Each structure stands twice: as structure tokens, then as C-alpha cells.
Chains A and B, each alone.
Chain A
Amino acid sequence: MTDNILSVRGLDITFRTNAGDIHAIRGVDIDLPRGKTVAIVGESGSGKSVTMKAVTGLLDDNSRVNGGQIIYRVDGKEIDLLTLSQRELRRRINGKHISMVFQDPMTSLDPTMTIGAQIMEGMFLHQNLSKKTALQKATELLQLVGINEAEKRLKNYPHQLSGGMRQRVVIAMALATEPQVLICDEPTTALDVTIQARILDLIQIVQEKMGLSVVYITHDLGVVAKVADFVSIMYAGKIVERGTVEDIFYDPRHPYTWGLLSAMPDLNTTEARLYSIPGSPPNLLHEPPGDAFAARNEFALAIDEKAAPPFFQISATHAAATWLLHPDAPKVEMPSALRARIERLKEESGHE
């Protein structure tokens, strides 16, 4: 049996709004094996951030958790994080055990405080460091995330930094408290590829050194290919396909995953137009009765309109929730352009 440091089970969340209830998370299961990296990929609004905010107890006030468990395993014990109060989470878990890097760096930065003061704040709170040690550690962390003249930069306010520098400061803050689990929500969207690669390498080094487990939310499939051991594809509040990174990139089974992989240009893309998945995600104010992807799915079956598909297991590691995998379903192949691309990728990497 694998040792999962974190397991999300049957998570179900609604948001109350003036227009009605939005059923944003509709039964999500995610496992994070200890020391490994799981990537969560999906379109905007699919529920990636909400799922991870539930883990850190940072859901918005208008949310309601209808059911589920979030099991955190530490020192041979299991804690259901959903049963802890926000205060307990903040005191016992967040920072020390689980750190989160938010999508928009400005939400985690206080515009009225220098970044140095902000990086050191967590260290004082969780590690009882002296001012001098904290200052030294903060300088080192800034250097680690590739910010030059670190000592001088500690005295900068957030608005005096470029977008990418702010993002790196937030990553430095998350690593400062030496957590067990690091949740990164789009941590490198504002970074150029060399710094991005450096940050990803840095996270990997920390991971190897300290056995850090990482959840990585991103829509950059190149980044997923680089960092992930496992991938969960999310659509309209559900996971629709999960597998190892190889399963997802070389043998995708869900039509939604096909669409995502097709939409990303690579350095060989020359078509006059890029592929984009037709239509837009469903409005979860009015939950669709069957498969939420049916309306946009050129391979949809009649049953998709009526019933949501269960997971079909493809291998020990790989499963997808699409009726196309039902034994009685007609044989459907992925689009030929994607098939050709996957063949090319396999060839380039020297695998058959």
C-alpha cells in the first residue's frame, strides 16, 4: 500500500450567492503520496483552488462543506482537517505542516510591509528564531529563489518589485517554515522559463532533502510534464481522469484531457489556428443532470445526457470517468492530430 500523506475523500462544497447555490466541488478524491508531486490540471473555474483552500481551511465565508474528509497523516496519526476549526488549523497545521502558495501573489503580500518583514513573520511564529538568524535565513531564501541583491530587496515594498519577483517572494515565504506539504497554486505563471525552471528545481531539491510532498496546480502542461509524478484532471468540480504523468501524456482516455492536450502549442506548432475546446464550462448554479462535459464533447453518447459516468479503471494507476470506457460503448479513438503528436513526443524521448 502506498503511504499517502494527504487524502481528500468525497469532498463536496457549495457556495451561497445571491443568484443561488453554486455546487463548485462535486465529490473530489485526491491522494498525495508522501514525498511525491501531484499536479491538478483543469480549465479556469473547475475547482482547483477551492479544493486546496479547503485543505488549508481558507474557504470563503459563503462556502458550505456538504461532506467529505481531508485526511492528513503525521507521526502515525490520522487527522481529518475538516473537523478542525480555522483557529486550530492556523495554529497547528498551516505553515508548520502545510504551506500554500496562492495564485495571486498580491493576496498573500501586505502592501504596507517590506517583504523582509513578511518573510520573517512566519519564522518568528513557527520556529522561534532570533532576529539575526531570521534575517540571515530570509536573505538566503531570496537568493535561493533567484532574487539578486537580496539584502537590499528585503527592504522593498511589494509594489517596487516586478510581477515575477513578487511571486518568488511568496514562494520563499512558504518554504521559510519548512513544511511537510507544499501546495502551489499556479506559482510560476508570471515567471520566465529560466527562473521557472530554477524554482521548480529548487522545489525538487527541497523535496528530495526533506521529503516534502507537493500539490501543484497549473494549466501549463509543460510544467506538469516536468514536475509531476501523478496528475488529476479536473472539470466542473469533479476529477475526470487520474494517472501517472506518463498515463496522462502518452495514453489519455478522457475526451476533455484530449482537448486540453490538443490546445497547447509546442515549439512545432505551425497551424494557422490553435485548437480550443468548443463552448464553455457549465454554470454550476444549474448542475447538468448527466456528464457535465457532454455539451462540449464531440464524442458524447446518449447516456451522457442522463447519467454522470463512474470511474473506469484502465490500469492500477490509471482511471477515467467517461462512458466511452464502458465495455458496451462504441470504440472511439482520440483525434488523429493528437495521436500523431503523442507518437512524435514518444519518438523524441526515445520511448516506443
Chain B
Amino acid sequence: MSKEPLLTVKNLRQHFKISRNFTVKAVNGVSFQIYPGETYGLVGESGSGKTTIGRSIIRLYDPTAGEVIFSGHKISGALKKDTRQMLRKDMQMIFQDPMSSLNPRKKIADIIGEGLDIHKLYATPVERNAIISSILQQVGLSPLHATRYPQQFSGGQRQRIGIARALVMNPKLIIADECISALDVSIQAQVVNLMKDIQAKTGCAYLFIAHDLSMVKYISDRIGVLHRGYLVETGTTDEIFTSPLHPYTKSLLSAVPLPNPHLEKKRLLLPYTATEADYEGRAWRQVSATHGVLA
């Protein structure tokens, strides 16, 4: 890893105050990097802070503490106008629910074209149409779809529209939050193949948030494992799957359901019950250039 990271997240904290005596500490000092053109898989328990990390990075939330550096610019804290512009263009998010993230009253062309309009990325309406047609084709839809509305598409097609909306900006980083979880297996395969093709073509990086470990293993170069708002382990996909170190990672791997009834029915899980308190003050231990674990 000699390249400069595209994204550096340093000691990110994100807390939510629910009431006077209850604050949810969703993210507790998480650090990781993503390099240009790679896929970083983020996995972890439900409620462990995966979505929150994605939303804090792209500044849908204001981080409570920590630093985020993207393309050489600090994007945490107060944002200068041109940094905000750069962020809005070079970083995109694909949301989990393709239905609620697409405005039902807008035509597909306007959903996809919104970012182009805001950043004035075309000279003439003809050019705008050409860009939108080409992106629709890239994601396996037809330019004829541009004048339709979201309800007229299936779940898989809607997810492609979400991908097209992100891609049209030619981003350097795409945050994909559970973007295939709601799709059936055959369409999951289509979408994942599409994401790989696009990466090969454009060199964009993905932060791939998911809980399907078979899919994460298949698509990721490196993986981070999150538990209770702490990053407990990170490593190459191979390191995480063949030599996991943290007990939570091991427990997670022991729970991946396999399409094999005879094995599944007698499988035992490795239990794991640590809480936030167990992680406080723990030191990070780097075991190799790429593999590290919360000791």
C-alpha cells in the first residue's frame, strides 16, 4: 500500500443525545483508510454504527469528534464552500432502500440529473440528455426509461437508478449502504457484477456496507469489522477470513448461513457478549502492514 489513501478516517466519534440522561454513543473512535480504486467492506452487528459512519463521512451528520480527510482535504469540521462542492461531487452514497430514497414525483431523468444541475456539469440540455442516456445504458437500463417514474420499476431496477444517480457524478468514492440486501439473489448478482464492471472502468473506490459475508468476501479487497461502535479488526479479505483474530470476527464468521441444510441444522455458533465497557481504553495492535486488531 504505497499509494496515498483516498479517504482517511481518524478517531471518528458520533454521539446522539436522546434525552438528558441517555446518549447513544454510535461510533467511538473509529479509524481506517480507503485507497483509490479499492473496495473496503464494512461489516458488523446491527446497530454497531455502520450507517452512521457512512452518513458522518458524507456529512449527513456532523461528527462529534475526529477527523476525516478525503482527496487531501479535511472534510470534518467547518467546511469551506469549495470543499463542500468537491465533497458533493466526488463522494456519493447509494442507500439501502431503493424505494424511499427516490422521489416518487420526479422522472428518472431528473433524479439522475439533479447532481448535474446543481454542479452545472453540462453546457446544453442536449448534452444533459446525452449524459443521462449514457449512464442509463451503463447500468443496464434503456434511455427510454428516462421519462418514467420510480414506481414503474422493480426493486432491482430501482437500485440501478440509485447507482446511476451516484455514478453520473463520476465520483472517486461511493458509499454503498446495504445496497443489495433488499434484492433477491439473482438481482443481487446483477448489481454486484455491475458495480465491479464500473469499478474496472472508472477506478472508483467503494465503501461497501453489508451483512451478507459471502457477498462481502466476494467483492471486497479489505474489510473492517465493527462492534458496538468500535472497529475491532481490519485486514485484507484473506486475512479476515482465513486468520481472524478478534473473538467477534470469529463469532461473525461462525454464523454465516451456508446453503447446506445438513451442515446448517447442526451448526453451533461461537457466542460473543462483550459490551462497550469492555472496549474502553483498549489499544490497537497492528499485526502486519495490513492486519490490525483491537487488543
The chain A residues found within 8 Å of chain B, CB to CB, are: 42-45, 104, 148, 152, 155-156, 160-165, 167-168, 189-198, 201, 219-226, 228, 245-246, 249-250, 259-261, 263-267, 269-270, 273-277, 280, 345-346, 348-351
Contact = CB atoms under 8 A, between A and B. Distances in A.
Residue from the set A161, A190, A245, A350 with the largest chain B CB neighbour count within 10 Å = A190
B257 A223 contact: yes
A44 B211 contact: no
B211 A192 contact: yes
Interface string B51-72: 1000000000000000000000
A189 to B, nearest CB: 5
A132 B211 CA distance: 37
B258 A148 contact: no
Given A269-B214, A273-B193, A189 B181 contact: yes
A82 to B, nearest CB: 28
Contact of A44 (B47, B181, B187): B187
Contacts of A245: 261
**10 closest A-B pairs by CB:** A164-B46, A222-B257, A349-B262, A274-B189, A276-B189, A219-B184, A193-B255, A192-B211, A226-B264, A162-B47
Interface string B172-194: 00000010011111111110110
Contact of A163 (B51, B215, B257): B51
A348 B182 CA distance: 29
Given A225-B258, A265-B218, A260 B22 contact: no
A242 to B, nearest CB: 15
Given A148-B275, A163-B178, A226-B261, 12 more contacts: A44-B155, A44-B156, A160-B18, A162-B46, A192-B45, A192-B252, A197-B255, A220-B185, A225-B260, A226-B257, A250-B261, A263-B186
Interface of B: 16, 18-19, 22, 24, 43-48, 51, 96-97, 154-156, 178, 181-190, 192-193, 196, 211-215, 217-218, 241, 251-252, 255-265, 267, 269, 272, 275
Contacts of B178: 163, 190
26 contacts: A42-B184, A44-B184, A104-B97, A155-B19, A156-B18, A163-B96, A163-B178, A165-B46, A190-B178, A192-B48, A192-B252, A193-B213, A222-B259, A223-B257, A225-B263, A225-B264, A226-B264, A267-B214, A267-B217, A267-B241, A273-B196, A274-B193, A276-B187, A280-B154, A345-B263, A349-B263
B-side interface mostly: mixed
A266 B45 contact: no
A190 B183 CA distance: 11
Contacts of B256: 193, 222, 267
Contacts of A156: 18
Contacts of B43: 192
A228 B261 CA distance: 8
A7 B128 CA distance: 55
Given A246-B262, A263-B188, A267-B256, A193 B154 contact: no
Given A162-B46, A194-B251, A197-B255, A43 B264 contact: no
Nearest to A249: B261
A109 B265 CA distance: 32
Contacts of B269: 194, 197-198, 201
Contacts of B252: 192-194
Contact of B258 (A152, A189, A266, A274): A266
A226 B214 contact: no
A280 B196 CA distance: 21
Contacts of B44: 192
B211 A191 contact: yes
A151 B199 CA distance: 45
B61 to A, nearest CB: 14
A261 B260 CA distance: 11
A148 B185 CA distance: 32
Contacts of B46: 162-165, 167-168, 190-192, 195
A267 B219 CA distance: 11
A119 B27 CA distance: 28
A265 B262 contact: no
A317 to B, nearest CB: 13
Given A44-B154, A195-B46, A259 B186 contact: yes
Contacts of B218: 265, 269-270, 274
A193 B211 contact: yes
A43 B184 contact: yes
A43 B262 CA distance: 24
Nearest to A165: B47
